[in-house]
Structure 1
């Protein structure tokens, strides 16, 4: 999970998680290993090793949960981790959807939507932190969106088993809604996209409110 999300709620009390300046922490090492797995996944997929590529992608996605849990439970949430963990998530997400697109298992509009959202979150988040020291708190629906997309892409990578389409239209850019059989993963992708759009709107609205408050305080 995202190391940027700090604090545990117990009853009505919320305790802030201490953030350290340490670089060499176990969660950061795990995030770096996950980053190194990205090109491995892409090479395996493009070489036709679907099962191996799916396994690498699944392990990389799973460590997204592991490093965040370790960081909070061992009190090693770091400033580097707050930047590295979500950045690796975005890189893995973009590479995942790009790989599925390159092998022809997802339509172009899905990759455009996922990449555009991730670029917006990366660039916007970097600008807010560097310019105003504003960090929008991560919400759980956003994590669910990421999880659904990761599961969906893994299903599309494996490409088995195939399930019948709904047959409600004949638009080839809407797999799953035509008569053609599709991987079960496409439905997780759709669910993830719906949540992703909703949480992105929330992040943008929240960031705008925090930005106005910061500018007002600075007298801009």
Structure 2
């Protein structure tokens, strides 16, 4: 069933299958990091990154953009980020306060959910800043993990990884504030139309 904005209500699509496989890989990825099988964890992450790229391309190519896909894709991104930061904090590679800062942003955005539901609003589209934040964070923590390796690879990856961490964390919060502004504007516009 096709909606007016070109987004399908279909569930069984090739892009959705790829996103679902990516979600299933997250717990395995988490275990690999905890077990300190870092190179295998990085391989899983590379495969996940490829499927993330492929599901979006295939959705457009095959005209299979779906509402479920729009939910699964960012959910998988967040799950990988969550698995990475928690596992790295348990291993004492990153501090727990950084985990709290990143999870705090998720709580901040989630707190807007009841407002969106109460006013029956669609979810605001993901902003460029939000995409940039996710990109930074998805690459940051694998680089931080590589920084734990010895030799030239670790020496190169460590500062690069932490640069991505700081940029990604800052952009993540900026995107969260923009999301709140979008929701506020949508509520205002809907109220103005119903007067």
> What displacement does 1:118 show?
2.6
Aligned with 2:35 (options 41, 47, 51): 47
More displaced stretch, 50-59 vs 60-69: 60-69
Correspondence 1:75 to 2:67: no
Q: 1:53 & 1:97 partners in 2: Cα distance? A: 13
Q: 1:124 & 1:55 partners in 2: Cα distance? A: 35
Q: Aligned residue for 2:9?
A: 21
Q: 1:34 to 1:120 in 2, by over 3 A?
A: farther
Q: 1:130 & 1:23 partners in 2: Cα distance? A: 26
Q: Contact 2:129–2:175 at 8 Å: present in 1 too?
A: yes
Q: Aligned residue for 1:11?
A: none
Q: 1:100 to 1:122 in 2, by over 3 A?
A: same
What residue ranges of structure 2 are gaps of 5+ in the alignment? Answer: none
What residue ranges of structure 1 are gaps of 5+ in the alignment? Answer: 1-15, 165-180
1:24 is paired with a residue whose SS is coil
Q: Aligned residue for 1:173?
A: none
More displaced stretch, 49-58 vs 22-31: 49-58
Give 1 or 2: higher strand fraction.
1
> What displacement does 1:216 show?
4.0
Aligned with 2:166 (options 190, 203, 219): 190
Correspondence 1:132 to 2:92: no
Cα offsets for 1:117-170 (capped at 9, x unmatched): 234335635862575132211122211211111111111222243339xxxxxx
* Aligned length in residues: 188
Q: 1:17 to 1:218 in 2, by over 3 A?
A: closer
Q: 1:39 & 1:123 partners in 2: Cα distance? A: 26
Q: 1:126 to 1:153 in 2, by over 3 A?
A: farther
> What displacement does 1:183 show?
5.3
Q: 2:10 & 2:144 partners in 1: Cα distance? A: 38
Q: 2:111 & 2:44 partners in 1: Cα distance? A: 27
Aligned with 2:83 (options 92, 95, 120): 95
Q: Calculate the TM-score normalised by the size of structure 2.
A: 0.84
The ranges of structure 1 where at least 4 consecutive aligned residues each deviate by more than 6 angstroms after the TM superposition are none
Give 1 or 2: higher helix fraction.
2
Q: 1:93 & 1:140 partners in 2: Cα distance? A: 18
Cα offsets for 1:179-215 (capped at 9, x unmatched): xx94531111111112212222111111111122224
Q: Calculate the TM-score normalised by the size of structure 1.
A: 0.75
